[in-house]
Every structure is written in C-alpha cells, then in structure tokens.
Amino acid sequence: MKSIVCFGELLIDFLNFNTAEEGGFQLPEFRQYPGGAPANVAAAVGRLGGPASFLGQVGDDRFGRFLKASMEAMRVDMRYLTVHKTAHTPLAFVFLDDTGERSFEFLRHQSADVLMTEQDLPDGAFENAGLFHFCSNTLTDADIAATTKAAIAKARAAGAVISFDVNLRHNLWPDHQVDAGAIQRFLKLADIVKVSREEADWIEENGFALTDWLETVSAVWVTDGGGAIRIVTRQGEHTVEPPKVQVVDTTAGGDAFTGGLLQALNGRDLAKMSDDDLAAATRFAAACGGVAVSRAGALPSLPEWQDVERDWPF
C-alpha cells in the first residue's frame, strides 16, 4: 500500500499539567511532548500500523533529536526530515482549562519549520505517496506557503490524493489575522478537507461558502467537538455521531481523527465510495479521536490498533 505523507511542523508541546505553589507564587508546571498537527497525523497512522512518512524540518538541537526519535518510535518513516543548522525547533506551550480545552502560546518566529524551502523537498518523499496531507500552519507567511504549494504540486504529479486539515491557529499569523485568501487558494488545491465547525463558519463568513469548496474538493468532514460529524460531498450531506467519552485532553483529538480517516481512505477511490462507506470510515476516525481525547498529551494519547480494531470498516 502507498504511503500517507504528512508535511509541515514537528514541534515540542509543553503541556501545562499542573500548578505548584512555591514561595507565594503559583508556578505552572509543563511536561514535554512531541507535537505538531501534521506530525500527529503521521504518528496516528503509524500507531495504527499504517504506512506513514513525515516531511518537514527541525533544528539541530536536543528538541529536534527528541522529536525524530519519538516519531520513529511511532513507526513513522523519518528519512525525509531535514535539519536546519542554525534555526531552532519550534515550541508550543499548551494550557488546558477545566474541561480539557486548549489554548496555545507559540515560539515559532524564524523557527526551522517555516524556513524550509522548495529545495529542501526531496523527490523521494513523493515517489510512493498515496495521500499527501498538510495543514494551514505552513501557510502563515509567503515563503513557507510557497514551499507548501510546491510540495502539493510534487505530490499531485506523483498521483497522490491531497488532504487539507484547515486547523486554524490565529495567533500564528501576522497580527493574529488569518489570510482568508490564502485559505481559499489552498482549499482549491485539496481533494479532501477536514475542518471544525468554527473554522468552516469563519471561512464562510469571509466569503467562501462550503458549496464553493465543492467545485474542486471531493469531500469535506466538518467536526464539532463531541457533536455530530458532517460529511459533505457533491452528491449530498449526512452525519455521524462520535462516541461519548470522558475528555481528559483534546490536544490530539482532531489529529487522531484525521489519521484514522486517512488510514481508512488510503488506497480507496473516493469517487466509488458509497455513503455507507464514507460513514463507516468516519466512525472509525471518530473512534480514534475518542481514544485520544480520553488520554493526556499528543503522541502518547494516540490509539493503537487494538484500541479501535472493532471499529475498522474495511
């Protein structure tokens, strides 16, 4: 089976897991986890036993080395990871509220991931690509957006299906203002799209209705936390209810869902899948997401095959 190639940021998530009192101060305590949305998706596929590879760049530092080893432990092919000699590995500090919902602070200015260029894209990464997956975090400035576009073109030329998880992080964009035009342009380059309800609403409010997406996109999955998942195609729309779970940490929930979905779709002709097939793939993806949000952290929370085997649709 062809590989699921995930492109973009690989970073450290410092998860705020506790607060300690010391000398009259309330001191947040953080634990270091591997993270980054497309990296999480690759790890989700690898953890399930699927063929996953990662394409991106880290710094020549202890964080970068930790991340490479962590991804390899998740059975992800890391041959195409490049290392920048001077730029640092990106860092994210993740804060959780009482319900497990997240907020982020990023240290990503001129970090290794955003300095990746078209020349850093090895041709070998695309030779066996069945699916190519990316997120909007590599669209936040013109240079890394150009690299993303070049990677999509290489994947398309190799016959890969293009997957886009919108995954908006407003505070990663200049002045915390997402470039709606950039999101629209890259939606038009995708075959399948995963988006949250809030993200879909934001895109539509900025002049690009979901019906417009379907002029080029084959299928859209709209998630809504613990609510119903919408599957929208040119033929119509239907919904799938996700499993009910006790939420501990939502950090990797969406990425586990996406990894499970790509695993279910890999090697299949989307145009020939029935509504029942799409619903079955979505239920499997939702089971993967449900396991992830019931555990702490990003990569460590991802399900293994035995956790979701009963939900495998094909």
pTM of the model: 0.94
Neighbours of 24 (CB within 10 A): 5
Least confident residue range of 17-31, 53-67, 227-241, 269-283: 17-31
| Other residues' Cβ atoms within 10 Å of the Cβ of residue 81 | 21
d(CA 61, CA 85): 9
Catalytic residues: 255
- Per the DSSP assignment, residues forming a β-bridge with 134 are 164
Residues 264-284 have pLDDT tens digits of 999 999 989 999 999 999 999
Domain boundaries, the chain: 3-19+28-307
Which pairing describes strands 3-7 and 129-135: parallel, antiparallel, or unpaired?
parallel
Sheet with strand 129-135: strands edge to edge = 81-84, 52-59, 3-7, 129-135, 161-165, 192-196, 219-223, 229-233, 236-240
For residue 68, the SS3 value is: helix
pLDDT at residue 262 in the model: 98
Position 99 confidence tier, pLDDT thresholds 50, 70, 90:
confident
Return d(Cα 34, Cα 229) in angstroms, integer: 27
The HSE-up count of residue 4 (CA atoms within 13 Å, CB side) is: 32
Q: State how beta strands 161-165 and 192-196 pair.
A: parallel
pLDDT tens digit sequence for 165-202: 999 999 899 999 999 999 999 999 999 999 999 999 99
Residue 291 has pLDDT above 90, yes or no: yes
pLDDT at 129 over 70: yes
Q: Taking Cα atoms as reference points, which of 185, 121, 182, 187 lies closest to residue 157?
A: 121
Helices 180-187 and 142-157: angle between axes, nearest 10 degrees? 0
- For residue 100, CA distances in Å to 24, 97, 253, 259, 294 come to 26, 5, 11, 21, 10
Q: For the structural domain made of 3-19+28-307, what CATH number should be given?
A: 3.40.1190.20
